[in-house]
Structure 1
Amino acid sequence: MVLTDVDIRQLLKENKNFISPFNEHKLSAASYDVSIGSVVYEIAVTANVVTLNDQPSIDNGYTKVDLSEGLILKPGQYVLCPLAEQISLPDNVIARVMPRTRYTRMGLLLAPQYCNPSYSGTLSLGLRNASPNNVMLVPGLSIGQLIFERLEHQPSENKLYRNQPGSFYQDEIEFVGAKFGNELSDEANQVYEAMLRKLSGEN
């Protein structure tokens, strides 16, 4: 069941951190607008091949950009935007981040995102300029909207996001980039290692 403005206000009464900070003007009939914070992160260009089993290289592959004077987002450029809001979901509620129509109509594409029940933290959303024009980003732009849904049944305690060993983004306040942990299979790691040996000229 998708939550209405009435449901969202009730959850805020039960937990003031459900959406923080909360602004009534951003609340619609069945969604809540979310905004770009004070910084964004660019993915740094590297001459090396990016392999998904090299977590240290991935962690170092982001450049922080202060938005206090704005950022010109060039055609084709992609940035990660930590939001100005934090959310804290109950165990029986999920959230979906959806783009806003006005931005998609001018060529700014927001990557949809799914939040598991019990997630808490600051989301970082992917934003790509698919238009042929330079676009200025500034703090406070309401680039997406949260849609909340209540689950029909309570999930198992051990399956909740906060209890998962791979919940890398739980309680995220400072930016966290892509995390792969132990998700790559042994077969995938073997292929990566073989490719790297070939690229380096090893037999």
Structure 2
Amino acid sequence: MVLVDNQIRDRVKDFKKYEKVYCNGAKALIENFQDKNLQSASYDITITNKIRIFRDDYRKINLSSDIEVDSVSIGRDISLGYELKPNEYILVQMNECINMPNDLIAHIRPRTTFTRLGLILSDQHFNPSYCGMVHLGLYNATKSILEIKPNLKIGQIVFEKLDLMPDEDNLYCNKDSKYQNEKEFIGSKIYDELGSSEKSLVDEYVASILNNLK
């Protein structure tokens, strides 16, 4: 079941009555909520003045290295706007902090207005019990420069009620979650999945040197 406007508003304004479906105390479903952004069955999300742009030095990135993965993008303040070049992909930060209870999931979807323009927003799934300010991918698929500014309504979030409660041990808040409570940017944690790190690579390199010295 998709939540409609009055249900979304109720979980923002009167969130304390939903205490039982939160991991660590009830919170407003959407922080920095603005009633004007509420639609019939969704909420329009906006962006801050913080983006991440990707380096264009054409390096080879070892996905097992935290140092190399973390170096692929740099932060940029766009308080005065940002000119998104053709075929450029950036990460934009949401103004809204989303506090998911255990009985909901959510999806971020592109706005038709921007899809028809050629400005493509990445999809985003929110697991039950996730909390944070997500960074979303934004791609200029046109041959024109598109100027973006803070507080731009970039997409919409849709909330869905689960038929059953998930297993408690499998909730996002109870797992080794990579992006829980994200406020400042957290880069890709793909190296965690590959079972290696920059430290282990350095250790292997030092060990090989020592072996050659024997």
Give the alignment's TM-score, normalised by structure 1: 0.88
What letter corresponds to residue 190 of structure 2 in structure 1?
F
Structure 1 match to 2:132: 121
| Structure 1 runs not aligned, ≥5 long | 194-203
Name which of 111, 136, 145 aligns with 2:122: 111
What letter corresponds to residue 168 of structure 1 in structure 2?
K
Instruction: Output one character per residue of 1:80-128: Cα deviation in whole Å (capped at 9) or x when no partner.
Output: 0011111101011111000000001110000011010000000101000
Q: Which whole-Å CA distance do the structure 2 matches of 1:96 and 1:81 have between them?
A: 16
Structure 1 match to 2:186: 176
Structure 2 match to 1:87: 98
Name which of 26, 34, 43 aligns with 2:54: 43
What letter corresponds to residue 177 of structure 1 in structure 2?
G
Offset of 1:184 from its aligned partner?
A: 2.4
What letter corresponds to residue 106 of structure 1 in structure 2?
L
* Alignment CA distance shift 1:129-1:112 (3 Å): same
Structure 1 match to 2:207: none
Structure 2 match to 1:25: 36
Offset of 1:185 from its aligned partner?
A: 6.5
* Alignment CA distance shift 1:50-1:181 (3 Å): closer
Superposition map of 1:47-196 within 5 A = 47-165=58-176, 167-184=177-194
| Structure 2 runs not aligned, ≥5 long | 17-26, 202-214
Offset of 1:183 from its aligned partner?
A: 1.7
Aligned pair count reads 188
- Aligned-residue CA RMSD in angstroms? 1.8
Indicate conservation of the 8 Å contact 2:64/2:195, yes or no: no
- Using the aligned pairs only, state the percent identity: 39
Offset of 1:48 from its aligned partner?
A: 2.5
Indicate conservation of the 8 Å contact 2:65/2:191, yes or no: no
What letter corresponds to residue 73 of structure 2 in structure 1?
Y
Indicate conservation of the 8 Å contact 2:88/2:140, yes or no: yes
Offset of 1:28 from its aligned partner?
A: 0.5
Give the alignment's TM-score, normalised by structure 2: 0.83
Indicate conservation of the 8 Å contact 2:11/2:28, yes or no: no
* Alignment CA distance shift 1:175-1:182 (3 Å): closer
Which structure is higher in helix share?
Answer: 2
Indicate conservation of the 8 Å contact 1:78/1:128, yes or no: yes
SS at match of 1:109: strand
Structure 2 match to 1:197: none
* Alignment CA distance shift 1:141-1:6 (3 Å): same
Structure 2 match to 1:4: 4
Indicate conservation of the 8 Å contact 1:17/1:86, yes or no: no
Offset of 1:56 from its aligned partner?
A: 1.4
Q: Which whole-Å CA distance do the structure 2 matches of 1:56 and 1:154 have between them?
A: 38
